[in-house]
Structure 1
Amino acid sequence: MVLAKFLIEKDTSWEATASALGPGPKTHIYSGGSAVPEGRGGPKLLNSEKAKTPLLLAAKYGCVEIVEEILGMYPQAVEHVDDEGHNILHVAIQYRQEQIFHVVEKMKFPMKRLTRKIDNKGNSILHMAGIDKQDQKATDMRSPGLRLQENLLLFERLKKASKTEFIMHLNSEGLTAEKLFAESNAELRRDAKDWINRTAENCSIVAVLVATIAFAAAYTVPGGPNQTTGYPLLLHRPAFLIFVITDMLSLTFALTSVIAFLSILTSPFRLEDFKHNLPRTLMIGFTLLIISVFMMMFAFAATIFLMIHNKQQWVKISLSSLAFLPATFFMFLYLRFYVSLMEPFKHSVKMLGSALPQCNSVRPHCSTNLDYESGQPLTWTPLFLLTAPSTQ
């Protein structure tokens, strides 16, 4: 970061833009000449169509520290646009760099301005949520359902951050943001439907198997019944009570998870269903399935204690511990999948917590509001108000 800070201090590529005060909502675009007169060491204008400034490159690849350093030294650079009219928000959303979005979001006044900007093709930040980069798609190895859910949650969040008029805004192809989003995610939606169908089917098979075993165990109690009274012979042993409770819980949770998986299989699979309904139902069903498997293992361990109660204690503990090996292995294999299901809900909880009133006093923003030389508060000036030195 020391080298990065040094280079950022010397870099003025963000100045290679000219004001664009026309009727369009863009802040500024590349012009034919430099924004700084010749002979004063000003930066040369970026003429290459593919040229990108360090700020936009850092935003594209998610280099949060570099973005913060650049905006800390040159807050005006936040309004910089590339040759396609993309500002930092366009780039962050297009490449799904959520942390970069958070950095810009802290700069409240620039955030309000940047959300109103459109690129050269008329795309707002809402439209950018529907533009899927092929290189990003190739490197994203997550399941289709979770990728689609992330896109839907991003689109919902951008809707709240955008002005109402941009929801129905048409780009140069005559598409609203919602229409573009639906078209670009059509293939992902089909893949997500197939994925969640297969997952629900496989999990429901396991849940039915667990329920069958638990139901059969309830009618073949350990030790058998008393031939005279019909009551179980081991009724008064503590381990028998554990067996009954855990077996009942295993059956209950397994059947409930089957209902959850069946509700997924009978879903109409609307696009909005992939945002909350289907992932939440899948997570609930999978959680209940894991609990039912563990309850079945508890019932099996209690049966071991009942059947070999006259053996040494270490024998009973060892055999009971082995009973939990399948359930532990099952949970270990699916832990990453379960964590990925929980991730969007963790984000929702964080957002809810941040929306609550804060007890701390209002603190100034990070380095983006301080002058890098004096450390004094920096007055932020929009880039289009800056005027280049006049040439004589």
Structure 2
Amino acid sequence: MTRTDPTPSALRLAVVGAGPAGLALALLASRQLPGAHVAVFDARPVDADIGRDPRTLALSLGSVQLLQRLGCWPAASARPIRRVHVSQQQPTLLPREPEVLINAADEGVPLLGAVLSYGSLVAPLQQAWLETAAREPQRLATHFGQRVAALKPLEQGVEIDAGIVERYDLAVVAEGGVFAEQARKSLAHDYRQTAWVGQVDVEGLPADTAFERFTSHGPAALLPLPDGPQGPRAALVWCVPSDDDPVRELDDRQRIAVLNHVFHPSIGRITGISPLKAFALGLNAEATLVRGRTVRIGNAAQTLHPVAGQGLNLGLRDAFELVRLLAQGSGIDAALRRMERRRAPDRWATIATTDFLARSFTWQLPGLAAARGLGLAALQALGPAKSMLARQMMFGRR
């Protein structure tokens, strides 16, 4: 080893972004790289009530297992997904609406994934990090309330400017933010779609079941949530064209009526809806996770269409693989080269699949809906292919 390629125990690691992927990486590094100096930076004040953040996250089984290994899985706050129902709204050439049903029991697993709020996931991760850092203040540092103004690449490291300039051997940018916005993205595409996001009350909602519906406007999804005052609830993601938005001008009563027409009857009956927030949808992806001694994971590496719900799952797999390779002790640069190779198949397969599905809803081609419906019907009929898809959604491409 040279002076500029330290052993894992002498590594100085900066994690920029204290979201789920960043905190998971920092916690894992603190445990698997004993002696390494790990610093976490985030503009969020340490006393901010992050637990109240209501944004909905969908995690795959692989992500749940990774968080369980860290001892930070908030099981009481999460709603398991044991069944996934994917269907396409008519018209198609088929006599009945095509659908795909994936069951955890058929795959020999306790669940396919889980749904929870952003706050209920980040709060225990943050608390675990703060407690860990308090036990080892000489090597673990917390810089909350400190915005990182710049990252300057060095020959064998990275300079972090967060009010005070410090040098680190490696910087990991997690969860997006200013550096995701400024980074050069090799792939960028505006889907000209809007995602309307909120929650709905659903009378008769099947337990522990996630629904995805392909419509002529775009995909729509319902993810199970803990029951509310009115009974069963679900998180709603409703994707429609931005140029001719059929949702924006509707009132709540009209939105409920349209949704009951859009979704498969097996969901039950939607009876209430929260205020909806609109988000523009597009693809932005880096060609590489690694540039010099800077690694980008999560939204800093790619932002994806929500049709497959894989963005955070990719980031968590990146985080765990990076720490695992660093712990092998063959040097930082060798670890980064191996990470790029090992993560590429999973990352690019997920990006390509998500992009293809998202773009397909913008194509005005005769027979496209019928072809998509035939594909769903074929997938349901071919058990091994359906199981392969389920495994990829749970654990990524291996």
Fold match by TM threshold 0.5: no
Normalising by the residue count of structure 1, what TM-score does the alignment of the two structures yield? 0.25
Normalising by the residue count of structure 2, what TM-score does the alignment of the two structures yield? 0.24
Bigger share in strand = 2
